[in-house]
Amino acid sequence: MIENRKSDSFFEKLKSNAIWSMAVLFIAVMAVYWGGVATDRYASESIIVLESPQISTPNLDFQSLLSGGGSAGRSDMLLLRDYMLSVDMVKKLETEFSIRDHFSSKKIDWFSRLRDDRKSLEELHRYFLKRVSVDFDEYSQLLRIRVQAFDAKTAFDISSFLIKEGEKHMNEMGQRLASEQVIFLEAQVKGLKERFNDSLASLIDFQNKSGLVSADGEIQSVGTLIAGMQERLATLTAELEAARSFQSSRSPEVVRLESEIRALKNEINEQRTNLAKQSGGALNVLASEYQLLEMSVQFARESYSSGLAALQTTRIEAARQLKQVSIIQNPSLPQFATDPERLHKLIVICLVTFLLTLILQMLVMIVRDHKD
């Protein structure tokens, strides 16, 4: 009897105190919802890291060793995370798995599902962000992916799709610019090769027409020849002077020496004329033309060589743009529902409701005291 009176007095107090009555009613409703109405959610979790291939350049140096490969940078990881949570990813998931139908199924409780009046792409994306989280771990440079769905297979499929499409997108984005650079450099190298071939053909044609392999070599040869003839001329002049000292001017020896000296002088003058005559065909003119052609060939060769080196370097950099997702933890196939955490949520709701009700009750009491 005493217990019944106490319980009766408790309910009477609740009836007389509307604030506590509403609090108890709210807790009861939440207990019913979280205890039996809320639909189970399955979570698939995975951990990945984005890496670039380790490719060395032909000319190894310290800088290339530092930047040859390894884990992708922080910016790449953040780009991958943002793409996984983007509207474009939602569109692909809708095309692949019809996630709109899954999240708006009538089997899901009204508060948890995507409601019929919120089926626009924007609302679907907002709902998607509530069920999918991709967190970037600054310390370990990892992405932690958690996907919630209302059955285990869908959660697993969405998680696997996020990883596959994320890797594909990063490769396409990195390769697009690299491919354009390679195409541009290939066209430039082709033009440089044609220029080099034209310059080389002009040099060979000049050599064939002039009969000279090297104008500089020919000038050097002529100069050596002139120097030899001048030395011979000096010797013959000395012999002539010596012969005149004891022979007559009509003696055979003197005549022979005079004849040889005249022939040498004529040959020396002719060779000097060939070196610098104003009419075409002078060796100095040919040498100038040859040097210009040779410089053109050298410049074209160096340009072509630099273009090839740049093309090779760009191709290596294009290969470095490839991204590979290394899976630290494969997407899990949930064996049981992990969400919602019913007991945890109910305890939190009770505590928060109790504190708020207590504060509100105190405020009401203070107001009443001031009125009295």
Is 306 within 8 Å of 55 (Cβ atoms)?
Answer: no
On the question of pLDDT at 38 being above 60, the answer is yes
pLDDT (average), residues 323-344 = 81
pLDDT (average), residues 264-293 = 61
**Share of residues in the chain with pLDDT > 90 (%):** 15
- Check residue 207 and give its pLDDT: 64
Distance of alpha carbon 330 from alpha carbon 48, whole angstroms: 8
On the question of pLDDT at 134 being above 50, the answer is yes
The pTM (predicted TM-score) of the whole model is 0.57
Per-residue confidence band for 153, with pLDDT thresholds at 50, 70 and 90 = very high
Q: Give 15 or 222, the one with higher predicted confidence.
A: 222
> Which range, 54-68, 117-131, 139-153, 208-222, is most confident?
139-153
Per-residue confidence band for 219, with pLDDT thresholds at 50, 70 and 90 = low
Q: Which range among 4-8, 81-85, 221-225, 326-330 shows the weakest confidence by mean pLDDT?
A: 4-8
On the question of pLDDT at 62 being above 50, the answer is no
pLDDT (average), residues 328-353 = 82
Q: Which range among 187-196, 294-303, 317-326 shows the weakest confidence by mean pLDDT?
A: 317-326
pLDDT (average), residues 214-239 = 68
Distance of alpha carbon 75 from alpha carbon 60, whole angstroms: 26
Q: Which range among 227-231, 247-251, 353-357, 365-369 shows the weakest confidence by mean pLDDT?
A: 247-251
On the question of pLDDT at 279 being above 50, the answer is no
On the question of pLDDT at 12 being above 80, the answer is no
Q: What is the 3-state secondary structure (H, E, C) of 17-78?
A: CHHHHHHHHHHHHHHHHHHHHCCCEEEEEEEEEEEECCCCCCCCCHHHHHCCCEECCHHHHH
CA-based R_g, the chain, Å: 48
On the question of pLDDT at 284 being above 60, the answer is no
Q: Which range among 134-143, 152-161, 200-209, 332-341 shows the weakest confidence by mean pLDDT?
A: 200-209
Phi then psi for residue 148, to 5 deg, are -105, 135
Please give the single-letter amino acid code of residue 125: H
pLDDT (average), residues 175-198 = 74
- Check residue 156 and give its pLDDT: 94
**Share of residues in the chain with pLDDT > 70 (%):** 67
On the question of pLDDT at 329 being above 50, the answer is yes
Q: Give 211 or 172, the one with higher predicted confidence.
A: 172
Per-residue confidence band for 274, with pLDDT thresholds at 50, 70 and 90 = low
146-166 burial code (b ≥16 CB/10 A, e <16): bbbbbbbebbbbbbbbbbebb
What are the structural domain ranges in the chain? 18-38+341-372, 193-317
- Check residue 1 and give its pLDDT: 45
Is 167 within 8 Å of 345 (Cβ atoms)?
Answer: no
On the question of pLDDT at 285 being above 90, the answer is no
- Check residue 144 and give its pLDDT: 93
- Half-sphere exposure at residue 240, Cβ-oriented, CA atoms within 13 angstroms: 17
- Check residue 69 and give its pLDDT: 44
On the question of pLDDT at 115 being above 60, the answer is yes
Taking only the tens place, the pLDDT of each residue in 260-272 is: 777 777 777 776 6
pLDDT (average), residues 211-224 = 59
